[in-house]
Structure 1
Amino acid sequence: MAFTRATGKHRAPSRLTRCGAKAVGIATLATTGVIGSLASPALAADTETPAPGETGLSQVIAIEGDLADRIDAQADAQQHQADVAAQAEAKAKAEAEKKADAKRKAEAKARAAAKARAAARVEEARESEVRAARSAERARLGTFQLPVAGSYVSTGYKSSGSLWSSGSHSGIDFHAVSGSSVVAVGAGTVVEAGWGGAYGNNIVLRMTDGTYTQYGHLSSIGVSVGQSVGQGQRIGLSGSTGNSTGPHLHFEARTTPSYGSDMDPVAYLRAHGVTV
C-alpha cells in the first residue's frame, strides 16, 4: 500500500507530534489486528516480541509523564512565589497600618497636650486678671491708718451703759488728750462738718469704697463739706464736746452717713490693713 503527501506548503510536525502520532498509529493497528493480518505467518513466527520497556509507546508515555512533572513543579514554584509575595504584601500592609495607627495616636497625644497647655495658659491668664483686679481694688481702697497716731481703743464697740441713748456704744473711743491731731483714716470726701448733737463737733467722710467714717467730740474742725481729703490728712483736733465725760475721739464706721447704720469699727479698720 502506497501513501502520497498532499501538495502545498506545510510545516513539518514536531518531533513530539510525530512520536505521538506514531504511537497512536501503532496502538490503533495493534488493536484492530491490522499488523497481525499484514504480516506473514513466518515473519510473525520469526520476530520476537519486544519487551514492554522497549516499545515507542512506552517512551512517549515516559516523556509525557516527565513533562507533566516539570509543569507541575513549575506551577508549584509559581504558586510558592505568589504565596510569598502575598505574605510579603500582607506583612507590608500590616506594618503600614501599624505605623499609621502609631502616627494617629501620636497626633492625638500631641493635640491633647496642646489643648492642656492652652487651657493652662487660659487659667493662668484668668488668675493673673483676678490678682490684678484685687491689686487694683486694694489700691482703690487704699491702706488705712489710725485716726490718732499711737492711740488705742479705750471703749469698745457695743459697750452698754446709760451714757448712750441707744443703750450701747455705736462706735469705739480712741484715747486722746485734748488738742491731739485727728486725721482721715483713708482718702474720702467730707459730707458733714459741724455740730452733731451728742457727738459735739463732728466730721463724716465718704470713703472711696463707698463706706463712711465719723469723728466726734472734736475741739475744732479743720475741713468743710465737699472737700476731698487724703489718707493721714489732719481734719480736726480731739476734744470733749457734746455728750462726753472727757477728752477722746469717738470713731464710727457706717454704711450710710446717718446714725444707726454703724458697723464694727475694729473689724472695718483691720479689713483695711490697720492693726487695732
Structure 2
Amino acid sequence: MAFTRPTGRHRRPAVRASRAGAKVAGIAALTTGSVVGTLAAPAQAANHEGPDTGLTRVIGFDSVAQEIATQASLVHSAAEQDAAEAEAAARASKEAAKAEREAERKKEAKERAARAAERKRLNTFVLPIPGSYVSTGYHASSSLWSSGSHTGIDFHAASGTSVHAVGAGTVVKVDWGGAYGNEVVLRMHDGTYTQYGHLTAATVAVGQTVTAGQQIAISGATGNVTGPHLHFEARTSPEYGSDMDPLAYLRGHGIDI
C-alpha cells in the first residue's frame, strides 16, 4: 500500500531549515573568532614572553639594523674628526718646522754678518794722525837717537792733536818711556805691537780694548824731542829693540801712505 504525504504545510522542513541556519551561524562565529584571534596575537606577543613569531623577528631585525647604522655613523664621524685633527696637527708641525728653518736661517745670517763685521773690525787700519804725513822716516840717521838711527817714523802733529789706534788691539802699556816721553803700547789682534810716543797724555788704560780709529792719546812734545810730533813704531814685542818697518807694516794693512 502506498503512502502519500498530505498536501499543505508541514513542520519537518522548518526543522531542517533551523538546523541549517544554526550550522551557518556556527561556522560564521568560528571564522570570526579565528580572524580576531589571529589579529590579536601580535599585540599579545608584544606584551608578554611567548613563542617567537615572524613579525617579532622582523621588528627585532629593524631595531638592530637601526643601531648598526647609528654606530656606523658615529664611527664615520669619529674617523672624520680624527682625520681632521691629524691634518691640522700635520699642518701645524709643517708650519713649526718652516718657522724653525726660517729662524735658523736668520740666526745663521746674523752670525755671518757678525763674523763679517768682526773681520772688518780686525782688518781695518787707519793712520794714527788722520790727514798727516811722515816728517822723519824709518832708520833715518841722527845723533839724537841712542841707537844711531830712527826706530820708527814721525808724523807731523801739533800739540793737542788726537792720536788714534791704527787698528784693533788691547792696551798693554801706558807709562813714561824715557826718551819716548809719555807712551802707549798696543798689542794688535795679529800678535804684533804698535807704539805711540811723545804724548801729552793718554786717554786709555792698560787692559782696555780699542778699535781702529779710536782715540788713545793726545800728541805733544814729551821726552827727547825738538818739537811736537807723534813717534810711531811697529814691533814684534812690546819692548824697545823689536821694531820693524812701520811704513811696510801700515801698507801691508791697506794704508796708502
SS in 1 for 2:163: strand
- Paired residue secondary structure (2:251): helix
Is 1:152 paired with 2:152? no
Alpha carbons 1:140, 1:209 under 8 Å: kept: no
The one-letter amino acid paired with 2:145 is: W
Task: Report the TM-score when normalising by structure 1.
Answer: 0.50
Can you give the 5+ residue segments of structure 2 that lack an aligned partner in the other structure?
A: 1-115
Aligned to 1:167: 148
**Cα distance in 2 for residues equivalent to 1:200 and 1:156:** 19
Q: TM-score, normalised by structure 2?
A: 0.53
Q: Is contact 2:160-2:220 (8 Å) kept?
A: yes
| C-alpha contact 1:143 1:274 (8 A) present in aligned 2 | no
Aligned-residue sequence identity (percent) comes to: 73
- Pairwise CA distance, 1:152: 0.3
Q: Do structure 1's residue 249 and structure 2's residue 249 form an aligned pair?
A: no
Partner residue in 2 for 1:235: 216
Match of 1:176 in 2: 157
Unaligned runs of 5+ in 1: 1-134
Aligned positions of 1:29-178 closer than 5 A: 139=120, 141-178=122-159
Once the two structures are TM-superposed, the CA of residue 158 in structure 1 deviates from its matched residue by 0.1
The equivalent position to 1:209 in structure 2, one of 190, 201, 205, is 190
Cα distance change of structure 1 residues 166 and 225 upon mapping to structure 2, 3 Å threshold: same
Does 1:200 find its partner at 2:176? no
Q: CA RMSD in A?
A: 1.6
Task: Count how many residue pairs are aligned between Structure 1 and Structure 2.
Answer: 142
**Secondary structure in 2 aligned to 1:256?**
coil
Quick one: which of 187, 207, 211 aligns to 2:168?
187
- Counterpart CA distance in 2 for 1:264 and 1:136 is 28
Alignment check: 8 A CA contact 2:121 2:168 kept: no
Deviation per CA, 1:197-246: give whole Å up to 9, x if none: 11000000000010000000001111111111111100011000000110
CA–CA distance in structure 2, aligned partners of residues 181 and 261 of structure 1: 26
- Which amino acid in 1 is paired with 2:216? I
Shift of 1:182: 0.1
Structure 2 residue aligned with 1:271 = 252
Q: Alpha-carbon deviations, 1:142-171, whole Å to 9, x = none?
A: 121000010000000000010000000000
1:223 corresponds to: 204
Contact 2:121/2:212 (<8 A) preserved: no
| Counterpart residue type for residue 243 of structure 1 | N
Aligned-partner residue type, residue 228 of structure 2? P
